[in-house]
């Protein structure tokens, strides 16, 4: 693959003629009536501006275009195809890994203070290009610009946070019996492969690259074949900021070719995966067969518990944000709404009223609050699960129709699902335990605290949850009782790179953030040094006397 055509890593995104690169106050980004700004033509323009030589793997600081079957890219807001790229196949994955092995040798030997300085420069560079990254992400994925702007800023923050840890990866001095000086040091795995999902490609690329890089590993990010563009640009910017060749590569391609090759190659020291339970299990099995450990961040079916003594207005705002932000395409979405019976009807009405006010529209319009489902297969799945929830007894409260502004515009062919609230989603309903991954919430009533906790835990997932109550003691008791890796009290969906994040059960294992993530991406090495000369190991080897 190294002989394929390449494009320079510092190619700028956008030109004055590129509407997708326009500032937020220009018509291309701000006019809700300009539905063409989310069309395939605009996405194509953004793509061509960023990668004039075509899309391919980012390897050794350059784009290398593959030669396999073409993988199409589709504009989620309109359903139109706007581009594609050749799948590089296993040969391409091999070239990326060979580069990463070389990069790991250089990066792992780099002074940690120098690594910290380079990562600080990556953070600064990403911050400088945050608007460019946000527009590129929105144009090519269909995520609302208001969301991608926040995510681009968070990626800069991730690299800045772990830059602060890069020169603080230390070991222990351990007292042991006898005349020994014994200590440990943390050593990197070498090459870390991060497989990231389509719902937040830019955010998860940063989330899964910054910590292993700080620990001294080379990273290969394999983004979803549906949404590879922003990850490639992030890698280019990181290389421009000073990361050596091979230290941050991107392996675009299909899961069955590139993904399968990356997760079963013994040159890989660790695999991190974000995605569905089924795919995560396949990745873990393939990696285990090659002796590769994994960090898995999988799905969730999180319960949002509301007691009668809660501030209901504030809780309703939180419930709407919990499931409808990002069009529900979030592993921590609060997709189960459990409400104390005495306020159940009132609270469902509050949520329904708020859901009806949410603005759907052109993703590049800063006023848009809810975007489309990012992929056609997921769009079909979401609609199928809504119908299943109704068949199982759920009553549709909102989401029956799309706004006329969508159905009467160029956006009509997109993957749009209106914010949907189903009430009466009882334990026998499919939506009680099945992750939808769309803007769909199922509500039901409970009578006692014990019942609420039991319902919250009646799932194989264990990723997140929340409780809304004015009783401090109850809040802490429920937080302790619900089996979830992240839990909020009178809030929902806030996460930060400094705080551990991960799940229990089918939601995965390992933690991908916080200081502990450095332990995920290093291994302890014990060193024994005798402080006095040792005696002969066998009597026959003694030469005294």
Name the residues annotated as catalytic: 222, 297, 331, 435
> Among all chains, which residue has been given the structure tokens 């460019």?
132
Angle of CA points 153, 107, 239, to nearest 5°? 45
Say what the alpha-carbon torsion angle 197, 198, 200, 202 is, to the nearest 10 degrees: 90
> Among all chains, which residue has been given the structure tokens 């975007």?
371
Alpha-carbon distance of 524 to 534, in angstroms, equals 26
Helices (H), 109-170: 112-128, 130-141, 145-163
CA atoms lying within 13 Å on the CB side of residue 257:
19
How many of the other CB atoms lie within 10 Å of CB of 530? 10
Q: Is 43 left (phi over 0), alpha (psi -120 to 50) or beta?
A: alpha
CA dist 427 → 384, 430, 459, 468 (Å): 19, 8, 10, 21
Residue 464: name the closest of 337, 339, 334 by CA: 334
List Cβ<8 Å contacts ≥24 apart for 236-240.
236/9, 236/10, 236/11, 236/58, 236/63, 237/122, 237/125, 237/126, 237/129, 237/133, 238/122, 238/125, 238/126, 238/159, 238/209, 239/9, 239/58, 239/61, 240/9, 240/10, 240/125
Q: DSSP class of residue 375? A: S
CA dist 8 → 60, 119, 209 (Å): 11, 21, 22
Please name every residue paired with 181 in a beta bridge, in sequence order, or none if there are none.
529
């Amino acid at each position: 693959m190294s002989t394929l055509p390449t494009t320079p890593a510092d190619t700028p995104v956008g030109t004055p003629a590129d509407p997708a690169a326009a500032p937020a106050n220009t018509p291309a980004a701000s006019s809700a009536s300009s539905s063409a700004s989310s069309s395939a033509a605009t996405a194509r323009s953004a793509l061509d501006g960023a990668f004039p030589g075509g899309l391919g793997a980012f390897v050794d600081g350059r784009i290398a275009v593959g030669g396999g079957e073409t993988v199409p890219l589709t504009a989620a807001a309109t359903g139109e195809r706007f581009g594609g790229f050749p799948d590089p196949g296993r040969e391409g994955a091999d070239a990326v890994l060979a580069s990463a092995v070389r990069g790991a040798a250089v990066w792992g030997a780099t002074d940690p203070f120098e690594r910290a300085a380079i990562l600080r420069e990556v953070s600064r560079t990403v911050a400088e290009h945050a608007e460019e990254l946000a527009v590129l992400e929105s144009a090519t994925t269909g995520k609302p610009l208001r969301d991608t702007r926040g995510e681009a800023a968070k990626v800069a923050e991730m690299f800045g946070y772990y830059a602060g840890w890069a020169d603080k990866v230390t070991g222990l001095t351990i007292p042991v019996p006898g005349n020994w000086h014994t200590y440990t040091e943390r050593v990197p795995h070498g090459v870390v492969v991060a497989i990231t999902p389509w719902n937040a490609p830019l955010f998860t690329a940063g989330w899964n690259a910054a910590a292993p890089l700080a620990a001294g590993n080379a990273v290969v990010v394999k983004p979803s074949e549906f949404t590879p563009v922003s990850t490639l640009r992030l890698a280019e910017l990181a290389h421009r900021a000073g990361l050596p060749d091979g230290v941050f590569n991107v392996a675009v391609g299909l899961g069955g070719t590139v993904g399968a090759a990356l997760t079963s190659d013994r040159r890989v020291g660790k695999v991190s995966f974000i995605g569905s339970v089924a795919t995560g299990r396949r990745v873990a099995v393939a990696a285990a067969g090659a002796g590769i450990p994994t960090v898995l961040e999988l799905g969730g079916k999180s319960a949002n518990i509301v007691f009668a003594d809660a501030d209901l207005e504030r809780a309703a705002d939180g419930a709407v944000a919990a499931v409808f932000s990002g069009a529900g395409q979030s592993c921590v979405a609060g997709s189960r709404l459990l409400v104390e019976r005495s306020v159940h009807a009132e609270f469902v009405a509050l949520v329904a009223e708020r859901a009806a006010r949410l603005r759907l529209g052109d993703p590049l319009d800063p006023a848009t609050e809810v975007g489309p489902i990012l992929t056609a297969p997921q769009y079909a799945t979401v609609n199928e699960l809504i119908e299943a929830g109704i068949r199982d007894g759920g009553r549709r409260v909102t989401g029956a129709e799309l706004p006329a502004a969508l159905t009467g515009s160029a956006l009509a062919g997109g993957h749009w699902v209106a914010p949907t609230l189903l009430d009466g989603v009882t334990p026998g309903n499919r939506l009680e335990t099945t992750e939808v991954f769309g803007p769909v919430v199922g509500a039901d009533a409970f009578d006692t605290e014990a019942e609420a906790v039991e319902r919250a835990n009646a799932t194989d997932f264990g990723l997140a949850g929340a409780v809304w109550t004015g009783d401090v003691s109850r809040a802490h008791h429920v937080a302790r009782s619900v089996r979830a890796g992240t839990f909020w009290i009178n809030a929902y969906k806030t996460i930060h790179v400094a705080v551990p994040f991960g799940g229990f059960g089918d939601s995965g294992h390992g933690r991908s953030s916080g200081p502990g993530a450095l332990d995920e991406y290093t291994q302890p090495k014990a060193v024994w040094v005798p402080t006095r000369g040792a005696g002969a190991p066998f009597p026959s080897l003694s030469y005294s006397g």
